[in-house]
Structure 1
Amino acid sequence: MSAHRALVIAMLPAIGLRVLAVLGFPPALLFYGDSFAFMREELAPGTTRPSGYSLLLALLRPAHSLTLVTVLQHLLVLGLAVAVYALLRRRGLPGWGSALLVTPLLYDEFMLLLEHMIMADAIFIVLVTAAVVLVVWRVTPTTAAVGGLLLGLAGITRTVGLPLLILVAAYLLIRRYGWRPLVALLVAGAIPLGAYATWTKVEKGKFGLTEADGNFLWSRTMSFADCDVIKPPERLAVLCPNMPVEQRPYPPHWLWEDFSPLLKVPGTANRNQLAGEFGRMAILAQPGDYLAAVATDLTELLRWERTDVDEKTPYKLPTSERPINESVRDVAESYEAGPAATRVVEPVAGWLRAYQRFGYAPFPLLVLALGGALVAALVRRRWDALLPGVAALALIASPPFLAAYDIRYVIPAIPLVCLAVGLTLGARSPSRPEPATAEPEPAGRAGA
Structure 2
Amino acid sequence: MAHRALVIAMLPAIGLRLLAVLGFPPAILFYGDSFAFLAEELTPGTSRPSGYSLLLAVLRPAHSLTLVTVLQHLLGLALAVAVYALLRRRGLPGWGAALLVTPLLYDEFLVLLEHMIMADAVFIVLVTVAIVLIVWRVTPTTAAVGGLLLGLAGITRSVGLPLLILTAAYLLIRRYGWRPLLALLVAGAIPLGAYATWMKVEKDKFGLTQADGNFLWSRTMSFADCGVIKPPERLAVLCPDMPVEQRPYPPHWLWESFSPLPKVPGTANRNQLAGEFARQAILAQLGEYLAAVATDLTQLLRWERTAVEEKTPYKLPVAERPISESVRGVAESYEAGPAATRVVEPFAGWLRAYQRFGYVPYPLLMLALVGALAAGLVRRRWEALLPGVAALALVVSPPFLAAYDVRYVIPAIPLIFLALGLALAGGSPASGKRTPADEPESLRV
Q: What is the TM-score when the length of structure 1 is the normalising length?
A: 0.96
Secondary structure of 1:19's aligned partner: helix
Paired position in structure 1 for 2:167: 168
Distance 2:200 2:434 in 1: 43
Distance 2:24 2:76 in 1: 18
Partners of 2:130 and 2:146 within 8 A in 1: yes
Distance 1:409 1:437 in 2: 35
Q: Which sections of structure 2, spanning at least 5 residues, go unmatched?
A: 441-445
Secondary structure of 1:361's aligned partner: coil
Cα distance, 1:212 vs structure 2: 0.2
Deviations 1:331-367 (A, max 9, x none): 0000000000000000110000000000000000000
Deviations 1:37-95 (A, max 9, x none): 00000000000000000000000000000000000000001000000000000000000
Partners of 1:154 and 1:161 within 8 A in 2: yes
Secondary structure of 2:3's aligned partner: helix
Paired position in structure 2 for 1:443: none
Paired position in structure 2 for 1:444: none
Summarize the alignment of residues 129-208 of structure 1 with structure 2, pairs less than 5 Å apart: 129-208=128-207
Partners of 2:124 and 2:411 within 8 A in 1: yes
Paired position in structure 1 for 2:443: none
Distance 1:196 1:33 in 2: 23
Paired position in structure 1 for 2:393: 394
Cα distance, 1:424 vs structure 2: 0.5
Summarize the alignment of residues 359-370 of structure 1 with structure 2, pairs less than 5 Å apart: 359-370=358-369
Paired position in structure 2 for 1:352: 351
Change (3 A) 1:230 1:20: same
Deviations 1:130-157 (A, max 9, x none): 0000000000000000000000000000
Partners of 2:427 and 2:434 within 8 A in 1: no
Secondary structure of 1:3's aligned partner: coil
Paired position in structure 2 for 1:427: 426
Distance 2:205 2:125 in 1: 29
Summarize the alignment of residues 24-103 of structure 1 with structure 2, pairs less than 5 Å apart: 24-103=23-102
Deviations 1:361-403 (A, max 9, x none): 0000000010011011101000000000000000000000000
Deviations 1:166-195 (A, max 9, x none): 000000001111100000000000000000
Secondary structure of 1:176's aligned partner: coil
Q: Which sections of structure 1, spanning at least 5 residues, go unmatched?
A: 439-448
Matched, 1:264 2:255: no
Matched, 1:14 2:13: yes
Paired position in structure 2 for 1:442: none
Q: Write the letter of the residue equivalent to 1:185.
A: L
Matched, 1:311 2:303: no
Partners of 2:215 and 2:402 within 8 A in 1: yes
Partners of 1:177 and 1:433 within 8 A in 2: no
Partners of 1:47 and 1:211 within 8 A in 2: yes
Identical aligned pairs, as a percentage?
86
Change (3 A) 1:403 1:75: same
Cα distance, 1:429 vs structure 2: 3.4
Distance 2:250 2:16 in 1: 34
Cα distance, 1:310 vs structure 2: 1.3
- Cα root mean square deviation, aligned: 1.3
Distance 2:250 2:123 in 1: 23
Paired position in structure 2 for 1:232: 231
Greater than 3 Å deviation, 4+ residue runs:
429-438
Paired position in structure 2 for 1:117: 116
Summarize the alignment of residues 367-386 of structure 1 with structure 2, pairs less than 5 Å apart: 367-386=366-385
Distance 1:76 1:193 in 2: 23
Distance 1:358 1:84 in 2: 24
Secondary structure of 2:45's aligned partner: coil
Q: Write the letter of the residue equivalent to 1:27.
A: P
Distance 1:435 1:422 in 2: 22
Q: Write the letter of the residue equivalent to 2:70.
A: V
Partners of 2:89 and 2:428 within 8 A in 1: no
Change (3 A) 1:424 1:436: closer
Partners of 1:218 and 1:278 within 8 A in 2: yes
Deviations 1:235-262 (A, max 9, x none): 0000001100000000000000000010
Secondary structure of 2:307's aligned partner: coil
The number of equivalent residue pairs is 438
Paired position in structure 1 for 2:127: 128
Distance 2:100 2:375 in 1: 16
Distance 2:437 2:187 in 1: 20
Cα distance, 1:437 vs structure 2: 10
Distance 1:203 1:227 in 2: 35
Distance 2:435 2:9 in 1: 33
Deviations 1:97-148 (A, max 9, x none): 0000000010000000000000000000000000000000000000000000
Change (3 A) 1:185 1:365: same
Q: Write the letter of the residue equivalent to 1:19.
A: L
Secondary structure of 2:53's aligned partner: helix
Distance 1:154 1:61 in 2: 21
Change (3 A) 1:300 1:252: same
Partners of 2:176 and 2:439 within 8 A in 1: no
